[in-house]
Amino acid sequence: MNLPLENTAGVRKQLLELETALTRPAVRRSGAELCSLLAEEFCEFGSSGRVYSREEVVDALASEGEMSFSLSEFRVRLVSGDCALVTYRAVAAERESLRSSLWVFRNNRWQLVFHQGTRVAAV
């Protein structure tokens, strides 16, 4: 199912809610919620240069401590009728990073297929 390209405000709102949900400890520690949000083929390029699979991310986040995130400069670019590129700046534990996520709309919901975080050098 393709989303109407003219509904960018609605898509932006949905994807901001989903990205924000991924910052919440309750969601980050829930394998079921993460597996619902992350596509089976999900992968992440970590700031360490390591590539993580969905299973590795779910396992790593299950034991993560409390962390507070703030998001800014949130942007959505529709790549096609059912694919969106999200970019934003995140601050967590006093570390700032640039983030990019590729979301696809399938089976009437958004799923994350790719994510990358790049640390911002301290000035």
The per-residue pLDDT for 1 is 46
95-103: Cβ within 8 A, 24+ apart: 95/119, 96/120, 97/47, 101/15, 101/19, 103/15, 103/18
Q: What is the pLDDT of residues 19-66, one digit of tens each?
A: 999 999 999 999 999 999 999 999 999 878 899 999 999 999 988 877
The per-residue pLDDT for 6 is 54
Positive/negative CA dihedral, 38, 40, 45, 49: positive
> Which of 3.30.930.10, 3.10.450.50, 3.90.1150.10, 2.30.30.100 is the CATH number of 8-119?
3.10.450.50
The per-residue pLDDT for 95 is 86
Bigger pLDDT: 103 vs 49? 103
